[in-house]
C-alpha cells in the first residue's frame, strides 16, 4: 500500500468535485480498489501502486479539462478514464470557455482575422463600432495565453474619460475611483474566469487593471497588454503607452473612432497612431465593421441608423457650405 497526495492547482475544487461531491463519488466508483479522500484542493489516495499511477494520470487530465473549459461533466470523466476525447476536445477554433462552459471563438471573418493577427504580430489595432467583440475577443486571447503560460500576466488599461456626462466626485480609495471606468474589462474577465480564481489573480497582480495615467515609466514584459477605448487617448498618451512594450509582450489596442469623447475637439491619439503606424512590420491593423456586430440584432440597426444620419448631416453641411460660397462670389 502506498499513499499519494494530488493538489488541484489553478482550478476551483468545487467544480472538480461536482454538486454534492457527485464527480468525486463517481471517480471513487471507477477505482474501487483505491481509497480516495478529498479535502479542500488536495486529494489523498491510498492503494496499489499500478492502480495509483492510472488514477493519478486521469485526475491530472480531469484537472486540465476543468482548467481549460471551466467545467466538467460525468460524461467527460468517463471519456477521460477510457482514454477518449471529450466532446469539448472535438470542438475546433475555441480560444477559451466561459465559466458556464460556453465556447468563446470568432463569430465573423474579421474576428478571425484579429485572432490570426495576434498569432503573427506583437502589436494589433482592432478598430470598429460598438458590439463587434473587440474588447471581449482581446481579453479571451489574453486569458488563453495566460492559461497556456506563454505570458506571466495580463495588463488591462483604459483612459479615464467620461462619455458625455460629468460624474463629479467619486468616493473611496483609488481603486474605487477608477473601477467605474474599467467595468467592461471586469465584465469580460468575470465571464471567463471563476470568481475565486480571478480574485486570487488580481491580488497576486497576475491580472492588473490600471488607468492609462499609471503607465508612465513602466516597462511591460512577459505580458499581454490591452488598451481599451483607445479613441479617447490623446496623441501624447497613446505614444507613451505604445513605448511601454517590453520583451515577450503583445499589445492589443481597441477603439471605435465614431465614439470619441475627448473634450474641445481634441485630436484622438488612436486616429493619429493608425495613420503613423500603418504598414510597419510587426503591427497589424484589423478593421471590424457592422457585419461583425455580435450583440442584439437591434445594435446593428442602431449603428446603421446613426451612420445614415451622420451621412445626411454631412451632405447638408456640404450643401450649405457650397451655397454660401456661391452666394458670396455672386
pLDDT at 177 exceeding the cut of 70: no
Among candidates 133, 221, 132, 134, which has minimal Cα distance to 124?
Answer: 134
- Whole-angstrom distance, CA of residue 103 vs CA of residue 38: 29
Cell of 149: 503560460
What does the pLDDT read at residue 53?
87
- Whole-angstrom distance, CA of residue 329 vs CA of residue 314: 23
pLDDT mean over 249-255: 95
List the beta bridge partners of residue 124: 252, 284
Over residues 120-136, the pLDDT tens digits come to: 999 999 999 888 889 99
Strands 42-47 and 2-7 turn out to be antiparallel
pLDDT at 163 exceeding the cut of 70: no
The sign one gets for the Cα dihedral 102, 128, 111, 297 is positive
Cell of 96: 477559451
pLDDT at 165 exceeding the cut of 80: no
**Banded pLDDT at 236 (limits 50, 70, 90):** very high
- pTM score of the predicted model: 0.74
Q: Write phi, then psi, for 159 (nearest 5 degrees).
A: -75, 140
Check if the beta carbon of residue 257 is closer than 8 Å to that of residue 231.
Answer: yes
Give the strands of the sheet with 42-47, arranged side by side. Answer: 2-7, 42-47, 35-39
What does the pLDDT read at residue 164?
43
Name the helix (H) or strand (E) containing 60.
helix 49-69
- Whole-angstrom distance, CA of residue 232 vs CA of residue 228: 9
Look up cell 471590424; give the residue: 288
> What is the SS3 assignment for 52?
helix
pLDDT mean over 193-204: 88
Check if the beta carbon of residue 209 is closer than 8 Å to that of residue 184.
Answer: no
Over residues 253-290, the pLDDT tens digits come to: 999 998 888 877 788 999 999 999 999 999 999 999 88
Burial 160-187 (b: 16+ CB within 10 A, else e): bbeeeeeeeeeeeeeeeebeebbeebee
CB atoms within 10 A of CB 29: 8
Q: 147-151, 177-181, 207-211, 276-280 — which is least confidently predicted? A: 177-181
pLDDT mean over 201-207: 92
**Banded pLDDT at 167 (limits 50, 70, 90):** very low
Check if the beta carbon of residue 286 is closer than 8 Å to that of residue 112.
Answer: no
- Terminal alpha carbon distance of the chain: 106
- For the chain, what is the mean pLDDT? 86
Most confident range (mean pLDDT) of 46-50, 97-101, 254-258, 301-305 is 254-258
pLDDT at 90 exceeding the cut of 70: yes
- Whole-angstrom distance, CA of residue 258 vs CA of residue 231: 9
Cell of 131: 458590439
Amino acid at each position: 500500500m502506498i499513499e499519494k497526495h494530488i493538489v488541484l492547482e489553478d482550478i476551483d475544487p468545487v467544480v472538480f468535485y461536482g454538486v454534492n461531491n457527485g464527480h468525486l463519488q463517481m471517480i471513487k466508483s471507477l477505482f474501487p480498489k483505491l481509497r480516495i479522500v478529498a479535502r479542500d484542493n488536495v486529494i489523498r489516495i491510498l492503494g496499489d501502486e499500478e492502480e495509483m499511477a492510472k488514477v493519478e494520470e486521469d485526475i491530472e487530465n480531469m484537472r486540465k479539462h476543468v482548467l481549460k473549459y471551466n467545467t466538467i461533466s460525468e460524461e467527460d470523466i468517463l471519456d477521460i478514464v477510457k482514454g477518449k476525447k471529450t466532446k469539448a476536445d472535438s470542438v475546433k477554433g475555441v480560444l477559451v470557455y466561459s465559466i458556464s462552459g460556453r465556447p468563446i471563438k470568432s463569430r465573423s471573418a474579421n474576428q478571425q482575422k484579429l485572432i490570426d493577427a495576434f498569432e503573427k504580430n506583437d502589436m494589433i489595432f482592432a478598430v470598429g463600432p460598438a458590439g463587434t467583440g473587440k474588447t471581449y475577443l482581446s481579453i479571451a486571447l489574453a486569458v488563453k495565453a495566460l492559461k497556456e503560460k506563454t505570458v506571466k500576466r495580463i495588463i488591462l488599461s483604459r483612459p479615464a474619460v467620461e462619455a458625455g456626462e460629468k460624474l463629479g466626485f467619486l468616493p473611496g480609495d483609488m481603486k474605487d475611483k477608477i473601477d467605474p471606468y474599467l467595468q467592461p474589462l471586469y465584465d469580460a474577465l468575470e465571464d471567463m474566469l471563476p470568481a475565486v480564481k480571478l480574485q486570487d489573480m488580481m491580488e497576486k497582480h497576475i491580472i492588473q487593471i490600471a488607468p492609462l495615467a499609471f503607465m508612465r515609466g513602466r516597462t511591460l514584459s512577459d505580458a499581454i497588454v490591452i488598451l481599451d477605448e483607445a479613441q479617447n487617448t490623446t496623441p501624447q498618451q497613446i505614444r507613451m503607452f505604445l513605448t511601454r512594450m517590453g520583451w515577450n509582450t503583445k499589445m492589443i489596442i481597441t477603439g471605435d473612432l465614431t465614439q470619441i469623447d475627448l473634450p474641445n475637439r481634441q485630436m484622438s491619439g488612436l486616429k493619429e497612431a493608425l495613420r503613423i503606424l500603418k504598414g510597419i512590420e510587426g503591427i497589424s491593423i484589423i478593421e471590424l465593421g457592422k457585419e461583425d456586430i455580435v450583440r442584439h440584432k437591434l445594435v446593428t440597426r442602431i449603428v446603421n441608423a446613426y451612420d445614415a444620419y451622420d451621412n445626411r448631416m454631412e451632405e447638408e453641411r456640404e450643401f450649405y457650405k457650397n451655397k454660401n460660397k456661391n452666394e458670396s462670389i455672386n
